[in-house]
Structure 1
Amino acid sequence: MATGGNRICSVVACIGDTMDTCGRRFPSYQENTTGIFEELSITAIMPTPQRVQELDADDSVFYPVSLDVAINPLKPEQYTYEKALSADGLKTHFSFKLNGLTRNLYSFAVWGRVFADDGKEATPPLSSGDNSLFMRVPALCLLILSIFLTL
């Protein structure tokens, strides 16, 4: 998904079966309401960041982002984040994966920013009638997480 200069691929917890319940918390603590992940991996394939000499900085940047239900990031020993260049050097693979069984996961994502795209028009909000692949992929990620949450 892309909005202006932002790029994100994420799995976000939902408290119900519809998109409007995603990214929300239960009004009060409820035992055993989160999914248990034995394995979870996100790979984002992006154009390789290029160095902008005048700024002495890259033109894009990508980070792992995670939250548990206490709104704390995962501990470094709980995940692996790696980046690797493609054989031709034109693409970079950013890989973010859990290192073992994880409970109480609220969000898990690779988030980045392409600075040249800042200020461009934002992606329109999701609508129930939009059948584009662009919108279905994030929805599918959320649906999968929702299924795990109901198990």
Structure 2
Amino acid sequence: MLSKFYPDHYVKSSFSINYEKLYKQGYRGILFDIDNTLVKHGADANDEVVELFKRLKSIGFKICLMSNNKLERVERFNKPIAVDFIYKANKPFKKSYLEAMNRIHTNKSNTIFVGDQLFTDVWGAKRVGLRNYLVKPIDPKEEIQIVIKRYFERIVLYFYNKQSKIK
């Protein structure tokens, strides 16, 4: 039952993923969460993010940001990187994942999702059939509703890690 929340990959950060290898494997699109995936909650895109997105574009990736946040926040973050985005994405519902792929002209077989939350980012990606990467949150200081979700995430990740060691 908990396995429906298990990520396909659990990595240290968005910056530690081997994107060149993914491109060689045929992936062409990346959907990213923003807050605590690429930057601390509410922060603007920093130099590290700008460089990552330049690299991803030079590799050939099409990118779309997906955030449950408001337009102003997502536009502000996106200004220096200039990619497609969806705000108020209502993750984990499927509609925005499908819309994001439509915008960047990819499909579920050649798109990955990168995010920091199991019950929104990963579960939504899994519901659509996307390969997904769960990253460790950048900043432990979060809003109360996320802190509560993190408690339940730790339970799921405990069993995920236990099962991963068996394999």
Q: TM-score, normalised by structure 2?
A: 0.26
Bigger Rg, structure 1 or 2? 1
Instruction: Pick 1 or 2: higher relative contact order, CA cutoff 8 A, min separation 6.
Output: 1
Higher helix share: 2
Higher strand share: 1
